[in-house]
Amino acid sequence: MKPGEGWSIAAGTDLETRFEQTYNPLIPDLREVSQAGFDQGGLTGFEISYQRPWGEPWWQFRDIWLEKGAMIYVLSFHAPPAAFDKYRDDFDLILKSFNFR
């Protein structure tokens, strides 16, 4: 997928359904999972934070799912768990500056 491209939402489904279809089968293999709605600066969607192996070490992820014009966009932030908080301000700055044109 190229930057700025998203996934089309299939007819008869919605963002929440697609979000759940993606993560629910993975949850038994993930650690430290938390899910919530996302609402910031006029953007709404869903958020999930989790740890999973990426290669040999485990990584901390924070995925934000948004929808615009029947397209799904996922902003994914990740770092080693011990360093994740070090980058939290950077992740939040990116989120605050993100918008659709």
What predicted TM-score, i.e. pTM, was given to this entire model? 0.83
Mean pLDDT, residues 53-75 taken together: 89
Task: Provide the pLDDT confidence category of residue 43 given band limits of 50, 70 and 90.
Answer: confident
Mean pLDDT score across all residues of the chain: 86
| Residue 91: alpha-carbon gap to chain centroid | 12
Per-residue pLDDT reduced to its tens digit, 10-36: 666 789 999 999 999 988 889 999 999
Q: In 3D, which of 20, 68, 8, 16 has the Cα closest to residue 43?
A: 68
CATH class of 7-97: alpha beta
Domain ranges of the chain: 7-97
Q: Which two tokens stand for residue 7?
A: 């996934």
